[in-house]
Amino acid sequence: MSDFLCYTLFSRKSDPDNTVPQLTDAHVASGFGFYVFQLGLAVSQPCHNPDIADLSRQKDVAARYDYTAANFDSEVGFSELISGINSKRKRLAQQCKGNVLEVSCGTGRNLGYYDIKSKNGEVQSLSFIDLSPQMIDVCRKKWDALYRKPIEAGTLKRDLKVRFMTGSALEAMPLAPNGNKYDTVFQTMGLCSTSTPAALLVNMARHLDLSKSESRILLLEHGRSYLPWMNRILDNAAEKHAERHGCWFNREIGQLVEDAARQTGLEVVNERRYHFGTLWLFELKPTDETVKRAASTIAQPDKAEEPKAEGRWLSKLGWW
């Protein structure tokens, strides 16, 4: 419905007889009318399952990505482009600095936005992790397509290290290539795709270098709106959307992030919302007290995060 409307809005072509624009205008009008009609029906519907926003009632759909990886980009690419989500991805990715860990990286929809295209780029290393081997495979192939020629030409960031890892971001993850924790942990559309979003965010904080005030966790997430009628639409569509796309887009993301931040010694320094409040951008940093506490214990690293030589991680690490 909305895709049809967006297509007609951007499909005007010049024609000396003005026949194509007139036809397109008619399509726009009819498409918009149909869209408004469907929206009105959706708004008027009561919530069919009031408990569907309860996290404990939402089944784990993370395995869905194993089956959708090959077609995922084609399914979401157009809608993300016209809705401005790509620009939000770019904004956050370009804030990443130092040793970067992208959690729930999926098919690598942020690959083209990192500051690595000049020899003086601010990203020193990129570590990508996803639970789905199929998603990681697409991500790696996309990296080759985007950056193989720049790598061969020597125009990419000097001494950039890149690796791709299959595994759960709810478990211990390898340290950055320099043996330290990460300067930036980045995730887009991940808290809506796990059955334990709070635990995921807490684990992301465990892998962030909390001894530096400039360390950041950057998030782009789906979540509930500030409008009751929009939340009814989300709740009524949530189950079918989760089955198809592996994403529960009706969660209380704001509260989840705030709670996890307090638990881990972080603070939300920037929060923005778009699309009637359903698209959330977060920037989190360690509090001053957390930085002091972490700096005082920096000589005692968390050994539990080092992968064992025979463990699952080293066998699945990919380096460039």
* CATH number, domain with residue 299: 3.40.50.150
User: Is it the case that residue 294 has pLDDT exceeding 50?
Assistant: yes
Do 277 and 155 sit in the same domain of this protein? yes
- Do residues 155 and 288 share a domain? yes
Q: Is the pLDDT of residue 19 over 70?
A: no
pLDDT at 80: 92
Instruction: Say if residue 38 is in the same domain as residue 57.
Output: no
Same domain, 39 and 72: no
Question: Rounded to whole angstroms, how far apart are CA atoms 121 and 154?
Answer: 13
Domain count, the chain: 2
**Helix (H), strand (E) at residue 43:** helix 19-44
Question: In this structure, are 21 and 76 located in the same domain?
Answer: no
Query: Average pLDDT of 100-128?
Result: 95
pLDDT of 140 higher than 60: yes
Assess whether 30 and 75 both reside in one domain: no
Could you tell me which of 171, 278, 267 has the C-alpha nearest to residue 217?
267
Of the pLDDT bands very low, low, confident and very high (cuts 50, 70, 90), residue 28 is: very low
Q: Same domain, yes or no, for 289 and 231? A: yes
Same-domain pairing of 71 and 29: no
Do 28 and 156 fall into the same domain?
no
Query: Whole-angstrom Cα distance, residue 168 to residue 240?
Result: 25
The pLDDT value recorded for residue 69 is: 87
The model's pTM is: 0.80
Q: Are 130 and 258 members of one domain? A: yes
| Domain limits for position 9 | 2-44
Q: Tell me, what's the pLDDT at 302?
A: 53
Predicted local distance difference test score (pLDDT) of residue 277: 96
Considering the domain architecture, whether residues 226 and 278 belong to the same structural domain is answered as: yes
* Helix ranges restricted to H, 45-174: 64-83, 85-93, 133-153
Model pLDDT, residue 49: 66
pLDDT in tens, 166-222: 999 999 999 999 999 999 999 999 998 898 999 999 999 999 999 999 999 999 999
Of 184 and 311, the structure prediction assigns the larger pLDDT to: 184
Average pLDDT over residues 302-307: 48
33 HSE (CA, 13 A, CB side):
6
The sheet carrying 161-166 orders its strands as 266-274, 279-286, 216-222, 184-188, 98-103, 123-130, 161-166, 318-319
Whether 280 and 221 map to the same domain: the answer is yes
Q: What are phi and psi of 82, to 5 degrees?
A: -75, -20
pLDDT band per the 50, 70, 90 thresholds, residue 2: very low
Q: What angle do CA 71, 77, 82 make, to 5 degrees?
A: 160
Is the C-alpha dihedral spanning 274, 277, 280, 285 positive or negative?
Answer: positive
- Residues above pLDDT 90, as percent of the chain: 58
